[in-house]
Amino acid sequence: MTSRVLAIHVAPEGGAPVVAAPEVRAEAGRGLEGDRYFARMGTFSQKNRPARHVTLIESEALEGMTRDYGLTLGPGASRRNITTAGVALNHLVGRTFRVGEAVLRGIQLCEPCGHMERLSGVEGARAALVHRGGLNAEVVSSGTIRVGDAIALEG
């Protein structure tokens, strides 16, 4: 299976509903255009760090949550920007990888929080996604990311 982008979601401000997008512009040093953290309007924007540029989650983790806990998060409900398929995101911490035209660097695991659980309305989502809640990444090279784009390690 080729590693790829399944879905893209952004929210214009902290706590706002996420909006699906067929593509998004990733800007080096900023994040994803149209997203709350790009505009410094996210719930955790006071923590203005590269780890806030973009978040990714594996579709396989969401499927595992349903299989193992009987809980389902709809598209974007995890509050992660990019839903992936065929890539082990936990293995990308400290690694540089290409997503479409953009180059990202994995910063840290994106462990689920109570804020995500409250906004999703799915009680137990936080516990069900521990250690598989996704990846925080920095945008190191600008470019467009589209649904269906490949994900691959750099050099």
> All domains of the chain, ordered by start, with CATH?
4-153 (2.40.33.20)
Residue 98 pLDDT: 98
Its pTM stands at 0.91
Contact 90, 79 (CB under 8 A): no
Number of neighbours of residue 40 by Cβ within 10 angstroms: 14
Q: How far is CA 3 from CA 38, 46, 118, 143, in A?
A: 25, 33, 30, 18
Residue 37 pLDDT: 82
Contact 100, 25 (CB under 8 A): no
pLDDT tens series, the chain, 155 aa: 689 999 999 998 888 889 999 999 999 999 999 998 887 765 554 555 677 799 999 999 999 999 999 999 987 999 899 999 999 999 999 999 999 999 999 999 998 888 888 888 889 899 999 989 999 999 999 999 999 999 999 97
Q: Name the DSSP class of 128.
A: H
Instruction: Measure the CA–CA gap between 118 and 61, rounded to whole angstroms.
Output: 19
